[in-house]
Structure formats: C-alpha cells, structure tokens
Amino acid sequence: MADYLLGIDFGTGGAKVCLIDDELNILAYAFREYPILMPRQGWSEHDPHSYWQYTGEMIQECLQKAGIDPRLIRGIGTSSALPCMVMVDKAHQPIHRAYNLLDRRATREVAWLKEHIGERRIFEVTGNRLEDHPSIVNLMWERNNRPESYRRIHKALTIDGYIRLKLTGKATANYSTAVFYGVAFDILARKFDGQILEEIDIDPALLPDVFSCEAIIGEVTEEAAAYTKLAPGTPVIAGGADCNAGYLGAGAVEEGDIQMNLGTCGNFGIIHKRTDFLNSMIVFPYTIHSGDTYITVPTTTTGGQSIRYLRDNFSPIEVEMEKMLDDLDAYDLLNMEAEKIPLGCGGLVILPYLMGERSPIWDVNARCVIFGLSLSHTKAHLVRAMMEGVAYALYHNFEIIRDADWKINYPIVLNEGGAKSKLWRRIMTDVFNVPTVLVKERAGAPYGNAIHAGVVTGVFPDYGVAREKAEYIEPMEPIAENHEPYMELFAIYKNLYQHVKDDFRDLAQVREKLA
C-alpha cells in the first residue's frame, strides 16, 4: 500500500498545496492567488482569515484530484515567505491583518533599536540586519501604535506557524523561520536571547516554541481534520522557510549548491556551514541538517513582483487575452513582447525597488527609478528593462559572494516563479556570466515540504532522493559578447543608486508628511 505526503506553502502573492506519493510523483497540486493589501505607504498586508480558508480548500482539492484515502498521508510539511507576522488571540483568532515581507512601516522602531541596542550587537546575535523588518520589530510597532489590541496578542506567528497552529493547536517556529523574528533570536544557539527581550520589553510568552526543522511538532486535531478532510493524528513537521523548501524540492542538498527563485522576491541561495556571516546578506539555518547547516540568501524585494506589477497595472489586454487562450497566460504574452527588444533596451535602466530594497543596499526608502525613458520606448522595453534591473540587483550580491571565494557548485539552478521565462534566464545567464539550468518539474516549495515530511517520517531514507528525482533541462552557457555591455549597464545601475539614495530619504520624509 502506497504512502503519501502533503506539502503546504504560503508565499507573498499566493498559496500552494502539493500531494505526492512514495516515489516522489506529484499526484495533485492546488494554487490560490490572493491580494497584497497596501492601505498606507510602507504597509503591506494580507487578510489572515484567507490563509486557513485556502488551506482547507486546497487540501480538499488535492484529495479529490488524487482520489486517495487521507489516512495514508504519512506527514505534512509547511513553509511560508519571510519575514511575516500573524497575531492571534487566545482563541487563535487573528488580530488585525497579517504582515508580509514587503511591509516596512516600523522605521522608528528600527531607529530606536539601533540607538539603544546597537546594530553590531544585534548582528552578532542574529547574524542578520534590522532593515529586513523582522517580526519582533513589527511587534514593537504594534505595542507603540496599537496598545489596546497589542494587549490581546496571545502569540505572534509566521504564516506557516499560523497554519501549524490551526492544524495542531500548537504555536511553533522552526530554526529557519525563527531567525526572521530577528533582534533577539540567537542564530547559533537556536533560541531567543532573554536579556535582549527584557531590554526591549517584549514578553517571551508572545513568541512560539522553537524546534529543529526536522522535528514532528504535533498531529492534526479532530477539529482541523473535520475542516480539511485530513485524517486526525496525521504528523505535522516543523518545516522551514519557503525558499529552502523550493531549493530542496529541486535537489539542493550539498554544500555549495546554488539555486535561484524569481517569485514575489528575487533571490538565490547557497548552502554552507560557514558562520562568518556576511553583514549585507540574509542567512538562516537550512531545512535539512538544520542544527549546523546554513543558507545565505541574497534577496531583491520585488523580483517577480515587478513583472506582476506591470501585468496588473499596465497590461489589461494581456490579462483579457489570457482568458481566451488555453496554453498562454499574461506573463507569457509579456515575455513574447519583451523578447523582441534588444539587450540594454535602447538605453533604459531600471532600479526595481518598488517597496524598498533588501541586500546588499538595505534601503527601506528606495523606490523604483526608470532612467533613460524616451518616446522611442514601449511597454515591451519596460518589461525587459525590469527583468534586467532584477538581474543587476541579484548580481550585485553575487559579485560579493564570488569575490569572497565561496564554494559554489555550478550551474545555477533556476527554479520558481519567473524562472520559467526563457528570456529572463538568458538575461541572468549573461549578466552572471555562469552556466544555468532550469528545473523541469517546478512544483516549488510545497513539493519540497512534502519530500521533507517524507524523510522526517521515514518514508524516504534520506534527502538524496530529492537530488535523484530532480531533472535539469534547457542548459544555457553565458554569451561572452553579451556580458561586457551588461557590465557597462550594471555600472550605471550602481552609480544611479548612489546619485539618488539621499533623494530617496528626502522623498520618504515628504511622503510621511503627506500620509
């Protein structure tokens, strides 16, 4: 009798569930897109009630598609995009909307922490920067700005932590996601620093219990089973960050393995055991061997989201055509338009900072700049220039890691989101000047979560099954004559930011007055 595994992932723009068998075949897959709510400048939220609603819908959809007995599901893995925060009361009901990773409202709290705790001390403890607006920073904002509702908070969770709470009744985090609480989470000791929590006046009781990524944290309750149609008692795994799950699902299991996602964010991750963390990068424990293995994940805040922005706001024709076509969506149509535009887009350079920027510049005030726009440029130019801008943003990080002589196992494996675009992969290959491949079965994070659950529960012998199953296609070698002009444009890209970064700060002050 076959065994089955279920993976659940919540991203910034949508949620996914994947059901696999004990040979790693995908039996069913479900997806729900949801809006990113931005009621004020710098705020970015979700309706948290939709998380559990969609979880139930997607699980039932997968069970129906696969036609299996839910009692044969041996484990459930979970993940979400980070940082994020869902505040719940004692009845496990959400308080206010949930924060997602694009939220940058807590600028005053970041400034206070820099002055009173100190950036160096926080980096030494957490291995990461405050500018990513981790959950504890947002908790401080809640305390300072909504004190009445703050007093109602029972637990502050990540999105995946909230899903595990609804499944098991237990408030948990894992080694990977706990890093995104920041400020007081000790990345080496894998626990919260009580002294810092006391100094910033955050009650440790508001924070979840922390487990290794490989732990079984609970079982599906009778109540959750009745809602989702899962079997009560099904084990639920602690899980990890969404990018980790996606990388694992595509076979990243060894030190030096490197993969790239072009989801809402654009990022790439490199697995390592180094503890000399780079202060311009994001780092957290990897989902496998999470006690001593890390992944450094340079990130541009709005990677694939930049193309979604162009789709949602400037592409009504493509969106309508999608409804009439069976095998093409609006993104495919935008790609077809952009493919006609030559390298460099006729002298168009974009800083793709639609909601501030993460590594390596860490500027919450940064915003998108379209430089060199003329009457000869079209929307197709903008689409390709945005792709090139995201490539420059990621390459800016890559050159730091490359020059630090890190172990990197080439080719770069392109995985989720906009990686399906052959044009975007060609741009990345030529900008980075290294070989790339595409994962054939790009089921992403929920697939990796299902594999993770399978190893933890003993269905699979080890994580090597992920590498054995992964198939890499469409290899690309860099075109030497393309890399040089890209580097000339990249130099302009970097200089452009230096020219306007003070203006970003001044503009932010004006925005705050106008809010």
What distance in Å separates the CA atoms of residue 461 and residue 455, rounded to the nearest whole number? 6
Closest CA to 13 of 208, 265, 366: 265
**How many residues would you count in the chain?**
515
pLDDT score of 82: 95
How far is the C-alpha of 108 from the C-alpha of 191, rounded, in Å? 26
- Predicted local distance difference test score (pLDDT) of residue 132: 86
| pLDDT tens digits in sequence order for the chain, 515 residues long | 689 999 999 999 999 999 999 999 999 999 999 999 999 989 999 999 999 999 999 999 999 999 999 999 999 999 999 999 999 999 999 999 999 999 999 999 999 999 999 999 999 999 999 988 999 999 999 999 999 999 999 999 999 999 999 999 999 999 999 999 999 999 999 999 999 999 999 999 999 999 999 999 999 999 999 999 999 999 999 999 999 999 999 999 999 999 999 988 999 999 999 999 999 999 999 999 999 999 999 999 999 999 999 999 999 999 999 999 988 999 999 999 999 999 999 999 999 999 999 999 999 999 999 999 999 999 999 999 999 999 999 999 999 999 988 999 999 999 988 999 999 999 999 999 999 999 998 788 999 999 999 999 999 999 999 999 999 999 999 999 999 999 999 999 999 999 999 999 999 999 888 87
Residues whose CB is less than 8 angstroms from the CB of residue 175 and which lie 6 or more positions away in sequence, other chains included:
190, 210, 211, 212, 213, 240, 284, 285, 290, 291
Residue type for position 468:
E
Question: What does the block give as tokens for 458?
Answer: 């003993």
pLDDT given at position 374: 98
Token pair of 321, please? Answer: 């055509």
The span from the CA of 302 to the CA of 374, in Å, is 24
Q: Give pLDDT, residue 58.
A: 98
Q: What pLDDT does 1 receive?
A: 65
Query: Side-chain half-sphere of 148: how many Cα atoms within 13 Å?
Result: 0
Specify the DSSP class assigned to residue 13: S
Q: Phi then psi for 362, rounded to 5 degrees?
A: 50, 70
Cα–Cα dist 159/374, whole Å: 43
**Domain boundaries in the chain?**
4-242
Q: Could you give the CA distance from residue 503 to residue 391 in angstroms, rounded to a whole number?
A: 24
Please say whether the beta carbons of 454 and 460 come within 8 A: yes
Helices 379-403 and 480-514, interaxial angle, to 10°?
100
* Residue 441, pLDDT score: 83
Q: Which of 62, 66, 61, 36 is nearest to 50 (CA)?
A: 36
Q: What is the pLDDT of residue 443?
A: 86
**Considering the domain 4-242, what is its CATH architecture?**
2-Layer Sandwich (3.30)
For β-strands 191-192 and 185-186, DSSP reports them as antiparallel
Query: DSSP string spanning 119-148?
Result: HHHHHHHHSS-GGG--HHHHHHHHHHH-HH
Report the C-alpha gap between 59 and 226 in whole angstroms.
12
